[in-house]
Every structure is written in structure tokens, then in C-alpha cells.
Structure 1
Amino acid sequence: MELTVEQALQNGVEAHKAGKVQEADRYYTAILKSNPKHPDANHNMGVLAVGVGKVEEALPFFKTALEANQNIEQFWLSYIDALSKLDRLADAKAVLQEAKSKGAQGDGFDQVERRLANVAKVEGGQTNEQTLGKAIDLQENGKYDEAIDILLNQTEQSPTDPNLKASLSHCYILNDDLEQAKIYLDAAKNINPNIASIGWNETRLLLKQKKVNEALAVAEKTNKLFPDDVEGMGILGSCLRANGDFGKSLRYLNKAIELNPDYAEALINRGLISLAQEDKASALTDLENAHKLKPHINQIWHPILTLKMEAKDFEHTIALAEGMVKLDPMDEKLFASMALSHQHLKNYDDAVVFYNKAISIKPDYATAYNNMGNALKDQGKLDEAIEAFNKALCIKPDYATAYNNMGNALKDQGKLDEAIEAFNKALCIKPDYATANMNLSTTKNLAVPAWHISMMNDLTRNNAYLEALELAIADNDLVLEIGTGSGLLAMMSFNAGAKEVITCEASKILAATANEIISENGYENKIKVLHKKSTDLLVGKDLPNKADVIVSEILSSEFVGEGVQATIVDANKRLLAKNGKMLPESGDIRIALIGDSEEIREKIYLKEINGFDLSKFNSITGNKFLLKLKNKPNLLSKTEVAFKFDLYGLKIPSKKETILSLKANRSGLCLGIIQWLGIQLFKNVKYENKPGETPSHWSTPIYRFDEPVYVSKGQEIKIKASLFEDSVWFSHQI
């Protein structure tokens, strides 16, 4: 249904009052198309234009409205106000005189006349309006002190101008001088409480004072009086955000930004809402746009830099921070952000330089020390990194992250016991610290490999050692155990009749734990635990005399490894008494050809999978596999002893190689070499972990051929066996 002009005007006014500016504009425009001289539509279009800051465009509308009807008081007042806003004071006075000549009178005209009469000239001939304009420009660029100075000067000339005092109040709020802000706000209210800027500045002051509910009440009241004030829409939106009403806040903020896209404060508030709602992309867009408009607003500097770093835009982060530093060279967090960005870009030297700049500004900057420690660690400067972490912890003793990071640096240094201590301290501070828990577990596995548990649960091994100890140990024997572990063999030794048992352990955590286990089992005064390597023990200091019996179980799956040869040679030479007993006494490495089985083949070879040939993948994998076999393997040859070890007369070879001929005792597909141990513990007490025959905690080494080889019964396969100080290797000689 087509609306009449009056209906359209009424709808426009209602939309206008509701703050629906665009809708109101459509109604007024429609009226003016049919009646270009319509006084109310012209006047209201002028009011709309002023409300969005387009004061110059409002003048023709006000002029047309007056030409159509000079009897409406508000038409004159709106026109005079617009001219005043444009500093056309002579024109404003002329229009006022014209209105009075036509009989205009009342409070509104009296107030306008007083305001125009109070327009005083200052040095340079500036009016109050010109001074306000200059002050606002300074204020918008963050030059609050300069703005305050010129406003104070102008206020002395015009002490009854409420706008000067209201502007002063705003500047003091921005300068965080809330006491002065309140003084000038109250002074402005005493002169004329019905000015929009007074309401908005009172709202700002209450927000600064954290009185968010009171601020919202003032903002809503002021908005009802000045519904078209774009600045007020942003301030009301800010209050609603502070009160947690994001939905309603966004309605006002979006409207303010639509009417004034350069409204920095509204962009900031909308950006902070997006940030609270985890919409980081939108938050960054709004906050960056606000920063471009008003780079001096430092409350958004660090959120912007944080969002930039989270987006991995490190180079732009550095550039932004450099610009911010020019505005505030004493903001230590700006240097820290540059440092962290350089660190992500692997510019570690630059990172350390900027961390030190941050620390020079704030010497107790624990976070900077912690992050600098990480940068130094990434450079491999572990001692310097640990020093930085310690400085962070001196400043902040409950800094769980620093303990965790120091633990990582200590782990990289191989100081596993100290690393474990650091991780435990992190967890004492923060028990639910998942990263520290994970790092602690990883480091414990390095310090105390998981095979310790299966080794101690290996009853076959344990019983063999117990039998050997009971045979070897005589009354009054001094027993030295090398490699305490849990303390099991030490306690067995004492029960076997030893007069004194001394056990040594290189790992601090193992030594400490073994000491507790020994104590809990009632042997605290019978067994002495030393946190030392056996090679560091001194007879006469650590041992009262050379040991009658030395027992150790430091063998790997390949017999050698764990420094076993060097340890045994040293023990024989320095620590074992003449005619003393060594357990084990001897041992050997045993091998055989391994035949095809699904269990082994699936663990060491790839062939056709789901119709695809993946065999090429074998060429990029190693040839040695340590397996835990469930089934008895299919051996294609008799057992062959590759290397023998006499632990009483052991000499360490730099390298020993031999070619072995393994004769197939049956035909079949040969996958490689299988290896295990033979150990003579003492006299006739022997132990062999032959796969499939003896349950064992040791893994079974498999040395895979490059390709499986079919062998016939009686065929000999040449195997090259290589022995090094701490390793062994077997390969197929074609």
C-alpha cells in the first residue's frame, strides 16, 4: 500500500528515533522526491547529516526548511548550530539576528546568544570552536598534554564555556588523570548538563573507574537524548561490551562503524569482542585498522602483536613493533615481541639482542629470561641457556615453564638426573602440566630404560644369578656389584653369605631409588650404595680393600654395549682381589640362519601389500631389528659361536672381524641371521637365552639380508662377523 507524505514522515521520524539512520534516510528522501521543499523532511535530513559528521551537507537542508517555514524554532536553532560547528560564527550570529527580527525567542535562543557572545579571541585570534577543533586533532593523535595546555589557556578566556571544560575532562581521562577529569566534568555539568559530550565523558570516566553498571546507565540515558550521535553509539557499545552484552554491543558498534568507518574506538571494541569469541581473524582485522587510524592507542599494541605471532606473520610483527617502539621506547614487551618473532624466524642472535634490551628496561623480566633461554638452547648454547633459566627462576621461583625448559636443556646435555629433578619441580608447582609430565616420562625412559622392568621380572635370569652367587660367595667375602639397578643382586649377594656388599651405580636416580628399596627391605646397614661409576671407585676410599667377588649384569642383547668390556677390564685390573671371582666368568655371542616365518617376516620385510609392490621401501630401512618373539623361530642351521669373552682375562679389540660359514641343515627361505647370548655365570651355572627355548627379557637381534635367500640343505652361507668395543655386526657375504 502506498504511503501518504504524512505517513512516510511519521515512519521516518520513528526510524530516526530508533537509531535506524538508513531507514529514516529512505523515508525522508522519498518525501523530498515528491516535495523538494517539504520543511520537516528537509530539516530532518539536515539533522541526519550532522549526526554522521557531514555538517557541510546539512546546511542546504536547514536553509530550505527555513525558507519553507520560518515559524519553527528548531529550524533556526539547528541551522545556527551547524554554522557554529563549521566555525562560521559571523554567519551564525547573522542567522540569529534574522531569527530574532522575525520574532524568535525563548530559552533555546537565549542559550545560543550567550554561547556566541562568549566566543572569545585568544592569541592568534582563535575562537573557542577553533581551539576545540585543534585540541581534538591533538587528542586524536595522542598528544594529550598539548591538547590540555591549549584548552586550559582558552578556558581562562572563556570560563563559562561548557564544551571547553568537557573537552578538558576527556583529555584528562585519556591521560589517566581521573581526579582532574572529574573536576572539569563537574564544572561543565554545572554550566550546562544537557550537552552530549558531558554524558559521554561521564561514561568514559565511570568505565575508567571500573564502574561498568553506572557507566552503562549514563550511556543509555545520553543515547536516548542524542540517538543520532555516532560517537555515542560507539561509547554505548563499549559499555555494553564491558557488561558482557556482546550481542547488543555489536548492534551499536556496527552501526557506528557503518556511519563512520574510521571510528577507531568502535573498531577496537568490536575487535575485542571478536577476540573474546575466539574469532581471531576478525579481531586482528579490526584492531589493525584501528591501529592504522590511531597508532598511539597502546592498549591494543600487544593483542595485535600476539595475534600476528599466532598467525605466524613474524616479519610483520617485527615491523609493527618497531613502529610502536618509536612511540614508547620504554615498553619492554615490544622488545620481547620482536625477540620472540626473531626466534621463530631462527634469527637467534637477533632474538638474544632484543631479549637483553627488554631486560635492560625491566631487570626482573622473568619471561624474557625464560624465552632467551630457549633461544640460546636452540643455538646449542646449553650452559648459557641454563643460566638464563636460573635467572628467570631467581625472579619467579614458582615459574613451572622455566623449570620445564631447563629440564630440556639439561636433558640435551645428557644430565638426565638433573633434568628429572627440574621436571619434578615443574610438576610440584603445576601438577597438571602435561608437557612437563611428557618430558619427565621421556627423560626417565632415557635415564632408566623400560627394559629394566622386564629384566627384573626375568625369573630365569634371576634364579641363575642367585644359584651362581650362592656358589661363589664365601663367608667374610667383600662383594662389589657393578650396576646397582634396583639393588636386587646386591640383596641376593648379602643373603648368599657376604660379609659386606658395596654396590655402585652411575645413575643418580637409580642409586637413590635402589637405596630406598634396600632400606625398605631391611638391608640399610648391610649394603652400601655408591653413586659412582665403577671406573671412578678407589680402593681404600670407596672400598676398604679389593673385592673378593665382583658381580655385574651390564650385558646388552648383543653382549657388548653399555661399556661392558672397558668396565670389566678396569674392574679386573684395579678392583678384584687376587684369586677373586668374577660373575659372569665368560660368555659368547651365538648366531644361526633364520628361516621364514610370518611373525618375523612381517616385522622386517615389505613385499606386496593390498595388491601394491612396496618392496622398494626395504632399501631405506636398517638391516638390524630387535624383536620380542612370541613363537619359536625356524632355525635353518646349527648354532655357531661368533665371538667368545673371558671376563677374567679380557682384552678389548679395536676391531675384530671373521668370516663364518653357516651350513644349512635343511632347505628353506632364509631371512637373515638370528643372534643370542651364552653366559657362564660361575662354574657349571650357565644361562642361554636361545629364542623359543628360554624365556628372556633381552630382545632378539635379527640381521636381515637385503633380500631373502633360498638355501638348500648342506649349502654354506658366508657371514661376515664384526666386533667393536661396544657393538657387533653381521652381514651376508655374497
Structure 2
Amino acid sequence: MKLSIEKALLHGIAAHREGRLEEAEQLYNAILMESPNHPDANHNLGVLKSTVGDRSTALPLFQAALSANPQVMQFWLSYLEALISEARFEEAKKLLEDAEGAGVSEEKILAFREKIPTLPEPLSRNTAKAPLLSKKRRDASNKKKKRKTQTSLTQPSQTQLKTLIGHYQANRLAEGRQLADTLVKSFPRHPFAFKLLGAILKRMGRLSDSLGPTLRCAELTPEDPTAHNNLGVIQKELGEFENAEASFRRALFIEPKLAETHNNLGNLYRELGRLNDSEDSYRQALVLNPDYAKTHNNLGLTLQDLGELDSAEASFRLAIGRNSEYAEAYNNLGITLHKMKRF
């Protein structure tokens, strides 16, 4: 391959999103020629095939993606959706059991179960089973009521959450930390309290301490891309570069349209000296948000490091055009012009 696998994947995602399906398919297939078990290429090609109605081809691709990386919740959801669309209900039922064990949310599990039709029994057997079916329905209803009753025992009140948010927004960090500590102890499976505790500790400058609650938030909400993005930011600042890249990648495969995460990935690559990858990530962020002044500035820094001073100048000017008070961009533009002997 002329492109690295990582670059080919980024280009494939961009082409896919922009509706250039033939180009995206070629890029995904090129990746799979080099790395047949690549989870993201298999999954994305499966999504593409499903989009054009070729679900029979999509199924083994989703299966390969899931086998390669069962930690990505979206892989479970895509495979389940394809099985049900193809009326392969028994396989879907079995996969639902596995998905439940893998941590897919109860809400998603129930939604998929509702999509699987129940085949009617022969009349004589239906009659015999009627009381049993009624009992099952009663049991399901009782469980639902029980879950509703237990909700107040498993999550903070709205008043507590509003107070916590108020502390954070008003920069009352000591009060916010105290309340967040109380909430995570009282409600150890409620992700928002962990999210705010991590954010408060980070704002207090206690970066190492912020990692634990931020990681816990991501574990409790495996399908929330923002949680993984936040985790990646802290991991990067702590120098855990491989973990940070994995967190950003997970966020993007849950939601590929997060310009902020593409920008963060670009920052990571620039710090690692992977300048071409950094440029690709910044450009992907700008495809999603052309008015993102911060990313124009960051791209200019990478282009400056690459020695592409004319392009760097253009990026800094674009950043300033979108934020006329962007002091850092003005400074970077001045440095670039000086290097070009135009200042």
C-alpha cells in the first residue's frame, strides 16, 4: 500500500462520510488486503455494504470486526442489526446473550429483543401455555416496576446533580469535589458523578488523581464517545500516549464526526513527531468543522514543523479570520513570516 493503514482508514472514513462510496470501499479493501482482521476496516466496510443493501456481504465483515475487537460496543450493535435485517433470528438471539455478557446496555438489549418476532406455537400448545405466558408478562411488568423503584437508590437526585454542575460552572472546586466524592461513594455505578469528579480534579491541577474517575466514567459508559475523548486528553497529558491514542480512536469509531477528538488526535501525533498523521487528523477535523479556529492554528503549527511555510501562513490567517482576538495565532503567524524573511 502507498498509504499507511492508518492514513488509508482516515481517507476511507472521509470518503465514506462524503458519499464517495466506491472510493471508500477501495480503501477499506486495500487495508484488508494488508491486514485481513483489521476491526475498523471490516466494520466500516460492513456498514457501507449494509447502506447499499448488500447485507449478506456485510454479515461476515461485522463478525470479523467483532471477533477482532469485542470491546467496541458498536461492533455488537451493527452485527445484531444486520442479523435481524436478514431475518436470522436464532443467530441474533444467541448474539444478544453474548452481547449482554459483554456489557452492552440493557436499553439496547431490550430494543433488539423487541425487533425479534416470536413465532406462534401450535394451537393446542398455545392453549396449554396461556397461563405461563400471562405469568411471564406479569413477571416482566413487576421487574420493570422494581427497576423504576430502584432508580432512586442507584442514581443521585436532580437537585444533587444540578448543585454539582453549579459548583463546577462557578469554579467552586472545593465544594464541587466534596459533593462529587459523596456521590461516587453513594452511587458507584452512576457515570456523571465520576465525570464531574474527574473534571474538577483536572481543573484543580490534580491530573494524576483525575485519571481514576475519568477512566471509571468511560468504563460505565462504553458507548459514550465523549467519555473516551475526555479520558484520552488526560492520558495524553500524563504521557500515556498509547492509551491516549486508543481512547481517541475508540471515541471516533463510536462517533466519527467528533471534530474535537480529531483535533486531539492531531495534537497527540504532533507531540509524538508523527507530523503527517497529525496533519491528516487536523484536516479531518476541519472537514467536520471548517470554522474551528483552534484546529486551523494547530494545523499551521504542524505545517510549520513540516517546513511548509506558505501553507502554515494560510492556516494561521484562517484561524485569525475565524477569531480576530486569537493571540496565539497572531504570534504563530509572526514566527512564520519571520522564517520566510517577510517580517
**TM-score scaled by structure 1?**
0.28
1:21 aligns with 2:17: no
Aligned match for 1:109, one of 127, 130, 148: 148
Larger helix share, 1 or 2 = 2
Match of 2:198 in 1: 203
Larger strand share, 1 or 2 = 1
Asked whether the equivalents of residues 185 and 202 of structure 1 are also in contact (C-alpha less than 8 Å), the reply is yes
Instruction: Show CA shifts across 1:185-218 (max 9, x none).
Output: 5686588553223222322333333333322222
RMSD of equivalent CA atoms: 5.0
1:63 aligns with 2:58: no
Q: Given residue 19 of structure 1, which amino acid in structure 2 is its aligned partner?
A: Q
Match of 2:259 in 1: 264
1:229 aligns with 2:229: no
Aligned match for 2:289, one of 281, 293, 317: 293
Match of 1:35 in 2: 89
Q: Given residue 239 of structure 2, which amino acid in structure 1 is its aligned partner?
A: G
1:539-618 matches, within 5 Å, as none
Instruction: Show CA shifts across 1:543-567 (max 9, x none).
Output: xxxxxxxxxxxxxxxxxxxxxxxxx
SS in 1 for 2:256: coil
SS in 1 for 2:159: coil
1:149-160 matches, within 5 Å, as 159-160=158-159
Instruction: Show CA shifts across 1:75-121 (max 9, x none).
Output: xxxxxxxxxxxxxxxxxxxxxxx989933356521255899xxxxxx
Shift of 1:279: 0.8
Q: Given residue 35 of structure 1, which amino acid in structure 2 is its aligned partner?
A: F
Q: Given residue 160 of structure 1, which amino acid in structure 2 is its aligned partner?
A: T
SS in 1 for 2:212: helix
Shift of 1:58: 8.4
Match of 1:194 in 2: 189
Q: 1:27 to 1:37 in 2, by over 3 A?
A: closer
Structure 2 unaligned residues grouped into runs of 5+: 1-62, 120-136
SS in 2 for 1:228: coil
1:281 aligns with 2:276: yes
Match of 2:42 in 1: none
Q: 1:15 to 1:216 in 2, by over 3 A?
A: farther
In 2, the alpha carbon distance for the partners of 1:342 and 1:334 equals: 12
Aligned length: 257
Shift of 1:328: 4.7
In 1, the alpha carbon distance for the partners of 2:186 and 2:266 equals: 37
In 2, the alpha carbon distance for the partners of 1:282 and 1:252 equals: 17
In 1, the alpha carbon distance for the partners of 2:165 and 2:329 equals: 31
Shift of 1:278: 0.9
Asked whether the equivalents of residues 229 and 247 of structure 2 are also in contact (C-alpha less than 8 Å), the reply is yes
Q: 1:185 to 1:217 in 2, by over 3 A?
A: closer
Higher relative contact order (CA 8 A, sep 6+): 2
1:191-590 matches, within 5 Å, as 192=187, 194-290=189-285, 293=289, 298=294, 302-325=297-320, 328-343=323-338, 348=342, 375=343
In 2, the alpha carbon distance for the partners of 1:45 and 1:305 equals: 44
Asked whether the equivalents of residues 15 and 21 of structure 1 are also in contact (C-alpha less than 8 Å), the reply is no
Q: Given residue 260 of structure 1, which amino acid in structure 2 is its aligned partner?
A: E
**TM-score scaled by structure 2?**
0.54
Q: Given residue 21 of structure 1, which amino acid in structure 2 is its aligned partner?
A: M
Instruction: Show CA shifts across 1:503-540 (max 9, x none).
Output: xxxxxxxxxxxxxxxxxxxxxxxxxxxxxxxxxxxxxx
Overall identity of the aligned pairs, in %: 12
SS in 2 for 1:160: helix
Q: 1:42 to 1:168 in 2, by over 3 A?
A: farther
